[in-house]
Amino acid sequence: MKPGRKKGTQKTGGRSAGTPNRTTQQARELLEQILFGQIDNINESLNNVRKESEAKYLDACSKLFTYVLPKKTDVTSDNKPIIPSLPIIQINTNGN
């Protein structure tokens, strides 16, 4: 018989499911501190992009949103991301 835990027995010790390891937690905290220290620069950069092009500004914002907003999933699609079915709106940037 192989040594180790028998099949069907409960695992003991270790961290709970979903708990990040210490290194991951420390890295996230460090990156969060760096990000919060750069908020003024990020706002300034986004304002500069907006002055250059509304389309580029919206594109940059939509890319940033993916880091803070969870992706919506449909319970009927086996947790695969939902493909949005919103119409594409063209923004007229030349003032007409």
Going by pLDDT thresholds of 50, 70 and 90, the confidence category of residue 8 is low
Decide if 42 is inside a domain. yes
Decide if 57 is inside a domain. yes
Decide if 14 is inside a domain. no
Decide if 53 is inside a domain. yes
Q: Residue 95: pLDDT above 80?
A: no
Going by pLDDT thresholds of 50, 70 and 90, the confidence category of residue 4 is low
Distance in angstroms (rounded) separating the CA atoms of residues 96 and 90: 13
Domain that holds residue 57: 22-65
Q: pTM value? A: 0.49
Pull the structure tokens for residue 1.
């018989």
Decide if 91 is inside a domain. no
Decide if 89 is inside a domain. no
The pLDDT tens digits for 13-29 are 777 777 778 888 898 89
Decide if 56 is inside a domain. yes
Pull the structure tokens for residue 31.
């990156």
Helices (H), 38-78: 39-52, 54-65
- CA distances for 11 relative to 8, 15, 16, 21, 54, angstroms: 9, 11, 11, 18, 54
What is the domain count for the chain? 1
Going by pLDDT thresholds of 50, 70 and 90, the confidence category of residue 96 is low
57 near 43, Cβ under 8 Å? no
Using DSSP's 3-state secondary structure scheme, residue 27 falls into helix
The pLDDT tens digits for 31-70 are 889 988 999 999 999 999 999 999 999 999 988 888 888 7
Decide if 79 is inside a domain. no
